[in-house]
Amino acid sequence: MEWRIERYETVGSTMEIAAGHAVRGAPAGLVVIAEEQTTGRGRLGRVWLAPPGTSLLLTALFRPSLEAARSSELSRLIAQRAGDAIAEVTGVRARIKDPNDLLIDGKKIAGILCQTSIRGDQLDYLLVGIGLNVNIPPDQLPFPTATSLLAVTGIVHDRELLLSAILARLADLPELANPVRESHRGDSQQRP
């Protein structure tokens, strides 16, 4: 997958920006990243807070098959890939708390939110939002149930390395690939 990254200093929500692009027909592979979100949210509309420049706040656009997007396992697979990327870069292993959180020592380090748009019986798009607490000092964590990679390891981590590792792991997830549709014009060629 070819990634196209849009970077912002401050946004309401990376999910909102990515959704606007998706509605206007942006292809899969768009990634919206912000240094700060003022209205970032998680599952059930819960707020996601992070001091500016401390976290990895992103939304990636995919256009997979409807069946893949409806899979009850998709959020878990995405969380697993994100967790694998964190371990690859930092050596710290996060545990998945179903359906969409990553925990270290029982505290939330990351949240993943999947949002779809379906038209009729076709998937229009899938947005995958990830909020990862990277370099939030322990005294600035928003909740006692939250943690950060800095708080866990005592080391400042490179957010760009984490971004690259996460995107590489997501790109290898077959469920997120663009579907290939067969032509129904009598030939056997497959078309995107």
Give Cβ neighbours of residue 32 (< 8 Å, ≥ 6 apart).
6, 8, 11, 14, 17, 18, 21, 58, 59, 60
Whether the pLDDT of residue 61 is over 80: the answer is yes
Give Cβ neighbours of residue 104 (< 8 Å, ≥ 6 apart).
92, 93, 94, 95, 147, 152
What pLDDT is stored for residue 179 in this prediction? 62
pTM: 0.88
| Inside any domain, residue 186 | no
| Inside any domain, residue 139 | yes
Q: Are 49 and 142 in contact (CB under 8 A)?
A: yes
**DSSP 8-state class, residue 92:** P
Q: What is the pLDDT of residues 140-158, one digit of tens each?
A: 998 899 999 999 999 999 9
Residue-wise burial string across 118-155, b where 16 or more C-beta atoms lie within 10 A, e elsewhere: eeeeebebbbbbbbbbbbbeeeebeeeebbbbbbbeee
Whether the pLDDT of residue 48 is over 80: the answer is no
- Token pair 């990254």: residue: 5
Whether the pLDDT of residue 46 is over 70: the answer is no
What pLDDT is stored for residue 100 in this prediction? 82
CATH of the domain at 120: 3.30.930.10
| Inside any domain, residue 23 | yes
Q: Tally the domains of the chain.
A: 1
**DSSP 8-state class, residue 180:** -
What pLDDT is stored for residue 47 in this prediction? 65
| Inside any domain, residue 109 | yes
Whether the pLDDT of residue 75 is over 60: the answer is yes
What pLDDT is stored for residue 192 in this prediction? 31
| Ramachandran angles phi, psi of 149, nearest 5° | -60, -35
More confidently predicted of 168 and 182 = 168
What pLDDT is stored for residue 42 in this prediction? 57
What pLDDT is stored for residue 3 in this prediction? 96
| Inside any domain, residue 184 | no
Q: Are 34 and 55 in contact (CB under 8 A)?
A: no
Read off the pLDDT band of 186 (50, 70, 90): very low
Read off the pLDDT band of 184 (50, 70, 90): very low
Q: Are 96 and 112 in contact (CB under 8 A)?
A: no
Burial class from Cβ neighbours inside 10 Å (0-12, 13-18, 19+) for residue 178 reads middle
Q: What is the pLDDT of residues 84-97, one digit of tens each?
A: 999 999 999 999 99
Q: Which domain holds residue 17?
A: 4-175
What pLDDT is stored for residue 41 in this prediction? 62
| Inside any domain, residue 180 | no
Query: Which pair of tokens denotes residue 67?
Result: 């069946």
What is the pLDDT of the chain when averaged over all its residues? 87
